[in-house]
Structure 1
């Protein structure tokens, strides 16, 4: 495979950017099958994002003086379990 110049790479990047900006989604596009490894990576990314969001919400709740019992009830666990899980970050 021949080495590409920086100009070639930039031109190709511009093509991709144009295609992305001009993309008009059609009904059913989101139903395209996702390769299994990508599905696992996506799910892991979503889980990590949700965990960060939950930790931020717990921290905000504690800043507003919610008890660990109230926090635990809100996330479906005991106050002690919530404190053990989020106490260091809250």
Structure 2
């Protein structure tokens, strides 16, 4: 595959932006169920995103000197469990 120039990439991005901005959903687009494997992939992606967000929040809380007990209570577990789960990254 040939390498694309910056101008080619920008033009393609503009095409996608135009298509997105001008998209008019059809009734079947909104309520169409996801294929099962896509539903699983989407749920896994959401779980991973939530885990990253939680780890970042724990890290920020620890930087603000919240105790592991307080962190654990906030996420519905013990302080020791929170420390074991997030201690290395916090």
TM-score range, shorter chain: 0.7 to 0.9
In the alignment, which residue of structure 1 is the partner of 2:55? 55
Q: How many residues align?
A: 79
Deviation at 1:26, TM superposition (A): 6.0
Which ranges in structure 2 are unaligned for 5 or more consecutive residues? none
CA deviation digits over 1:2-28, x for unaligned, max 9? xxxx9xxx9xx68x6243221134677
Which ranges in structure 1 are unaligned for 5 or more consecutive residues? 1-5
Cα RMSD, aligned residues only = 2.3
In the alignment, which residue of structure 2 is the partner of 1:89? 89
In the alignment, which residue of structure 1 is the partner of 2:66? 66
Is the alpha carbon distance of 1:67 and 1:21 closer, same or farther for their aligned partners in structure 2, counting shifts above 3 Å? same
Return the TM-score normalized by structure 2: 0.75
Give me the whole-angstrom Cα distance separating, in 1, the residues matched to 2:86 and 2:24.
Answer: 42
Is the alpha carbon distance of 1:67 and 1:32 closer, same or farther for their aligned partners in structure 2, counting shifts above 3 Å? same
